[in-house]
Amino acid sequence: MRNLFKTIFLLFTLIMLNGCSSNDESSNSNLSVEEQALLGTWKYVAYGHVNSNGTETVSAVNSQCLNTHIFTSDRNINYRSYSSCSEYYEEDGTWTLVNGLLTRTFPQTVTVIQKDNITFINPDKIKLFEVGNTTDFVIYEREGSTIVDTSYKIELTGNYQTDWCDATGNTSKVTFEFLQDGNVVATQNAQSNIEQALTVSRDLTGNVIGIKLKLTDYNPSNLNSGLGEGFDSLHLKVTGNQTQDVLIDTNPNAWLVNCADICYEINLLFNTSTEQLTVNSSWH
């Protein structure tokens, strides 16, 4: 008799587990792949701005208790906003995600509908732009994420020079090579016929990251080629993408110039372990 009761209990347990599993699968099957990727608890960790030159300025949220959104498979959402760790405002609503457009509806008191364009930076980090706003954004990270972002944002700003050495009417051309542990992973060519600032940036990973900049028109067999061109007033900034800590923010003592003396190439190499910058210039 005892064995019979054990058998019945085990069968009942298996049936219940199978039923719960089927319900979960059925619930999730009503969601698209992108909606399933959003399920869970997300915390507001950073905010940012897209600058006029295309680079981004990102600032971490310095708070012990972070605002949260909880997205469930029945398309319900819970939002909690903290004024302090012991005081918060909470609201429930519904959500949908279609082709990168996240819609959140909160019907309590007065119905509020929020629409944002969403980008997955990685499976545990998202960036939201409010619809109609292409410059300001917020970043959320999945609670309990174990993904570590080991990349760094490297940004270089400088000024074009076109009329050095009494030369006029030049177009300064500069080639930028982005480096990871000695390998070129991307190249960007830029030019200008007026004196103006330019900023280039890229996310890089590795022990040593950097930028090599070169006078595109430099020709050792024809030193008059590109005469008067230059790129100076360099400013270099490296930020850790995981923490948003600025590792270096400096003005390297280097410049490209094609004049009586020619500096045709500059290597800016940053060691992410020692946080030391090495500057190498090549002159003719």
Nearest to 160 by CA among 123, 213, 111: 213
Ordered by start, the domain boundaries in the chain are 33-142, 152-283
More confident residue, 62 or 265: 265
Reported as a single tens digit per residue, the pLDDT across 164-213 is 888 788 899 999 999 999 999 999 999 999 999 999 999 999 999 999 99
Q: How far apart are CA 227 and CA 213, in angstroms?
A: 17
Give yes or no for a contact between 119 and 100, defined as CB atoms under 8 angstroms apart: yes
Answer yes or no: CATH 1.10.3470 is held by domain 152-283. no
- Phi, psi (degrees; rounded to nearest 5) at 151: -90, 160
Q: Which of 72-86, 156-170, 207-221, 260-274 has the lowest mean pLDDT?
A: 156-170
Res 163: pLDDT: 85
- Phi, psi (degrees; rounded to nearest 5) at 9: -65, -45
Q: How far apart are CA 15 and CA 73, in angstroms?
A: 22
| Beta carbons within 8 Å of 63's beta carbon, 6+ residues apart | 82
CATH number of 33-142: 2.40.128.280
Share of the chain above pLDDT 70, in %: 90
248: which strand partners?
Answer: 238
Average pLDDT, the chain: 89
Report the predicted TM-score, pTM, of the whole model to 2 decimal places. Answer: 0.68
Looking at residues 110-124, what average pLDDT do you find? 94
Reported as a single tens digit per residue, the pLDDT across 34-49 is 999 999 999 999 999 9
Looking at residues 83-112, what average pLDDT do you find? 93
Res 243: pLDDT: 85
- Phi, psi (degrees; rounded to nearest 5) at 229: -80, 155
Give yes or no for a contact between 159 and 147, defined as CB atoms under 8 angstroms apart: no
